[in-house]
Structure 1
Amino acid sequence: MMKIAIIGSGSWGSALAKVLSENKHDTVLWGRKQTIIDEINQTHTNEKYLPNVSLPKEIKATTSLSEAVSNASMIILVVPTNAMRQMAQELNPLLEDQAQAPVIVHASKGLEMNTQLRISEVLTEVLNKDNYQDVVVLSGPSHAEEVARQDVTTLTAASDNLEAAQAVQQAFMNRYFRVYTNTDVIGVELGGALKNIIAVGAGIISGLGYGDNAKAALITRGLAEISRLGTARGADPLTFIGLSGVGDLIVTCTSPHSRNFQAGTLIAKGYSRAEVSEKMFMVVEGILTVKVAYELAKEYDIDMPITEMLYLALYTDKKISVEDAIESLMLREGKQEESLDK
């Protein structure tokens, strides 16, 4: 048993804390909102983010970041991508006083706006390397609601240091939560981030009333886009046919649990990007990632037509309707279907 700090008391942070507590680890869950922290401590629930779920009484919740991370062997960051830099900055001085350097794990999926950095790149840029062991990415097909009710779930722990990935694997593994290791950090992170874009598109297709044929086409061609950009950034193309690639893509594009899918259905109903953000009380990473991926595609001269159409529909002054975007995709010049890494 070891002390593990979960930073972020939303749905995914709470679900991961539940897994670790059930695995008999000393689990501390940190959040900024005192009302949520009090609820977790007093009633052992988090109804706003994880309704109808009983959390283990052994989970300790706190608003004190220093209390959460003190003497923790592992710190798991589950905050929105664009809050990750600030969180790393807040952690830096606290890690100075640690008797043992912890393993840093992140379980978020996105790319930082403006810098276009992957989350592990943000963490290694900000954190003092002397104060932590390694950075590990925890990613894959996983809905917090299903993990919380102990549905069978499989994820990937990726790190440049295989031993660090194996430490995360051992901390989480149980009869319903299985973790595989991987050393392709680039592929695992990009697979997790870019699939959110395709999930927004899947929600749009569903919201417009298209059927399974259209969704299958979107998922397949979306995977091709993810692979093109990923391999251009140095990822192993085989990663994208694994859990953090096609596995995560399928679950996010086919489930109403997915906030990115939900956002797409709202866009199909005519809501603007700003209106969608107002209606959903959790960050929709896919909408933010559309812009970053579009910029990367231009920088690397990568053909990403689905991403481009979503960018035009969501971000440009000359916005096109989602119906026109779909028609534009269908009427593109005929091409030969390429292999996954093209």
Structure 2
Amino acid sequence: MKIAIIGTGIFAIATASLLDKNLDNFTIIGRDKNQLDDLKTGNCNPKYSNYKIKATLNTELLDDCNFNNYDILFYCLPTLALNNRYLSTNSLIVFTCKGFRENFLFESVKNYVLLSGPSYANELISEKYTSFTVSSFSLKNCEIISRLIKTKYCLLYTSLCPKSIELFGIFKNIISIGCGLINELDMGKNVEASFIIKFLDNIYKTFDINKSELYQPAGIGDIYLSCSVNSRNYRFGKNLIYKTNKIPNNTTLEGLDSLKQLNSKLKDNLINLFYDLIMNCPVLSPNEIKNKIINLLNY
């Protein structure tokens, strides 16, 4: 079985650290030749981590790669990098990204698995205990991927509702931005909790999802982790009152990207109201932002 990771960033390395426990060899596919050279010669990408991969490692440039040469692909790039090249492959593709671009995965892909949960990459590499939801329409695919990544410090839960798992992954990053903003405005944890409830209720009303999936690691577990200061989306929300909604260079911000895309795709008043608030934060006073948040909660 030929297995590859698409991406050379920190979560790609974290994924490699899991495969490393169960495979003798695999491939890492990426755009940056220098990083691929480091991985090929030293089994390490020092730009992101000092972790040394123990398996025999092959590397391949993304532009030269034929994905159909692989049985399984772990997609560890941002959602915005997704295109038909990835979505049309015959390989089983495992998505670790949690964002939205143009269409939902459950609308456009058939042979796929979602790997989602409260999983900071650095903690995963350090072998700190974590949990994942492995989700697919196919139980067989869930079992295949679970065997590849299971370790003694990685607890796995199976879900056959990838639509619900995908939606939680998308919206938890959007929720995180709002909670960061509320926190920096010192509105209190009660308001943060109310904001989370408001968005979860809206998800249930807008989409036909399985509510029991909220109890998965990819549900409440990932929402909890994302609404903390170590989350990029949460920190972005905290910085909004300082008159900027610009993303720092070389930073992936799935929450803002997804919010922009969903604002265009969905006729959803809550999403539209929150998008307008985020875009207008630089010209609003703290009190005006607070009032808009309260209005949003009362909507």
Q: TM-score range by the shorter chain?
A: 0.7 to 0.9
Question: In the alignment, which residue of structure 2 is the partner of 1:88?
Answer: 86
Residues 118 and 333 of structure 1: is their aligned pair in 2 closer, same or farther, counting only changes over 3 Å?
A: closer
- Secondary structure at 2:243 match in 1: coil
Aligned residues of 1:62 and 1:68 also touching (Cα < 8 A): no
1:107 paired to 2:96:
yes
The change in CA–CA distance for 1:202 and 1:196 in structure 2 (over 3 A counts) is: same
Counterpart secondary structure, 1:221: helix
Give 2:235's aligned residue: 262
1:286 alignment counterpart: 255
**1:157 counterpart residue number:** 134
Secondary structure at the aligned position of 1:217 is classed as helix
Distance 1:314 1:288, change over 3 A: same
* 8 A Cα contact 1:198 1:218, kept in partner: yes
Alignment partner of 2:192: what SS? helix
Question: Does the C-alpha gap of structure 1 residues 63 and 323 become closer, same or farther in structure 2, counting only changes over 3 Å?
Answer: farther
Q: How many residues align?
A: 298
Corresponding residue to 1:146 among 123, 138, 155: 123
Instruction: Give the CA deviation at 1:294.
Output: 3.4
Q: Give the superposition deviation at 1:71.
A: 4.7
| SS of aligned partner of 1:254 | coil
Structure 1: runs of 5+ lacking an equivalent? 96-100, 125-133, 336-342
**What is aligned with 1:271?**
244
Which of residues 66, 77, 80 is equivalent to 1:79? 77
Query: Is the aligned partner of 1:39 residue 2:28?
Result: no
CA separation of 1:201 and 1:322: change in aligned 2, threshold 3 A: farther
Are residues 105 and 5 of structure 1, via their aligned partners in 2, closer, same or farther at CA, if it must alter by over 3 Å?
A: same
Corresponding letter in the other structure for 1:254: S
TM (norm. structure 2) is 0.87
Instruction: Using the TM superposition, give the Cα deviation of residue 5 of structure 1 relative to its aligned residue in structure 2, in angstroms.
Output: 0.5
Q: Which residue of 1 aligns with 2:113?
A: 136
- The equivalent position to 1:171 in structure 2, one of 131, 145, 148, is 148
Q: Which amino acid aligns with 2:82?
A: M
- What's the counterpart of residue 27 of structure 1? 26
Match of 2:209 among 210, 235, 238: 235
Q: TM-score if structure 1 supplies the norm length?
A: 0.77
Equivalent position of 1:253 in the other structure? 227
Q: Contact conserved, 1:203 with 1:253, CA < 8 A, in 2? A: yes
- Using the TM superposition, name which of 247-256 and 63-72 deviates more: 63-72
Cα RMSD between the aligned structures? 2.8
Q: Structure with the greater relative contact order (CA < 8 A, sep ≥ 6): 1 or 2?
A: 2
Q: Is the Cα contact below 8 Å between 1:141 and 1:251 reproduced in 2?
A: yes
Q: Partners of 1:194 and 1:200 in 2: how far apart?
A: 10
The amino acid across from 1:266 in the alignment is N
Q: CA deviation at 1:198?
A: 0.5
Residue deviations 1:47-106 (CA, integer Å, cap 9, x gap): 43x34x3131433333256668575331111222121115427xx5xx6xxxxx632211
- CA–CA distance in structure 2, aligned partners of residues 333 and 251 of structure 1: 22
Contact kept in structure 1, 2:182 and 2:191, CA below 8 Å: yes
Q: Secondary structure at the match of 2:152?
A: coil
Query: Mean alpha-carbon deviation: is it higher for 324-333 or for 13-22?
Result: 324-333
Contact 2:243 2:283 in 1 (8 A): no
1:180 is paired with a residue whose SS is strand
Secondary structure of the 2:83 match is: helix
Q: 1:321 to 1:47 in 2, by over 3 A?
A: farther
Question: Structure 2: which 5+ residue stretches go unaligned?
Answer: none
Aligned to 2:52: 55
Residue matched to 2:275: 311
Counterparts in 2 of 1:192-207, with a 5 A limit?
A: 192-207=169-184
79-88 vs 55-64, which moves further:
55-64
